[in-house]
Amino acid sequence: MIVPHTTDTPAPTPTVRKAVVPAAGLGTRFLPATKATPKEMLPVVDKPAIQYVVEEAAAAGLDDVLMVTGRHKRAIEDHFDHAFELEQALAAKGDAVRLDAVRDPARLANIHHIRQGEPLGLGHAVLCARRHVGDQPFAVLLGDDLIDPRETLLSTMLDVRERYAGSVIALMEVPREQIHLYGCAAVEPTEEEGVVRVTGLVEKPSPETAPSTYAVIGRYVLDPAVFDVLDRTAPGRGGEIQLTDALQTLATDGTVHGVVFEGLRYDTGDKADYLRTVVRLACARPDLGPEFTTWLKGFVAELEGREGAGRGRGLAA
Ligand code: UTP
Cα distance between residue 116 and residue 174, in whole Å: 31
Domain 18-285 has CATH 1.10.10.10: no
Cα distance between residue 169 and residue 140, in whole Å: 10
Q: How far is the CA of 302 from the centre of ligand 1 (A)?
A: 37
Determine which residue's CA is closest to atom 8 belonging to ligand 1. Answer: 25
Q: How far is the CA of 24 from the centre of ligand 1 (A)?
A: 6
- The residue among 161, 54, 152 whose CA lies nearest residue 109 is 54
Q: How far is the CA of 295 from the centre of ligand 1 (A)?
A: 34
Local confidence pLDDT in tens for the 317 residues of the chain = 344 444 455 555 668 999 999 999 999 999 999 999 999 999 999 999 999 999 999 999 999 999 999 877 889 999 999 999 999 999 999 999 999 999 999 999 999 999 998 999 999 999 999 999 999 999 999 999 999 988 999 999 999 999 999 999 999 999 999 999 999 999 999 999 999 999 999 989 999 999 999 999 999 999 999 999 999 988 877 788 999 999 999 999 899 999 999 999 999 999 999 999 999 999 999 999 999 999 999 999 999 987 777 665 554 43
Tell which atom from ligand 1 comes closest to the C-alpha of 34.
13
Our answer on whether the CB atom of 147 is closer than 6 Å to any ligand 1 atom is no
Cα distance between residue 79 and residue 207, in whole Å: 40
The 10 Å Cβ neighbour count of residue 262 is: 10
Our answer on whether the CB atom of 267 is closer than 6 Å to any ligand 1 atom is no
Q: How far is the CA of 151 from the centre of ligand 1 (A)?
A: 23
Our answer on whether the CB atom of 183 is closer than 6 Å to any ligand 1 atom is no
CA angle, residues 66, 69, 73, in degrees to nearest 5: 115
Q: How far is the CA of 40 from the centre of ligand 1 (A)?
A: 10
Our answer on whether the CB atom of 25 is closer than 6 Å to any ligand 1 atom is yes
Query: What is the DSSP-derived secondary structure letter of residue 246?
Result: H
What pLDDT is recorded for position 136?
A: 96
Cα distance between residue 198 and residue 222, in whole Å: 14
What pLDDT is recorded for position 8?
A: 53
- 157: Cβ contacts below 8 Å, ≥ 6 apart: 139, 168, 170, 219, 220, 221, 259
pTM above threshold 0.95: no
Residue 58 DSSP SS3: helix
Cα distance between residue 179 and residue 163, in whole Å: 29
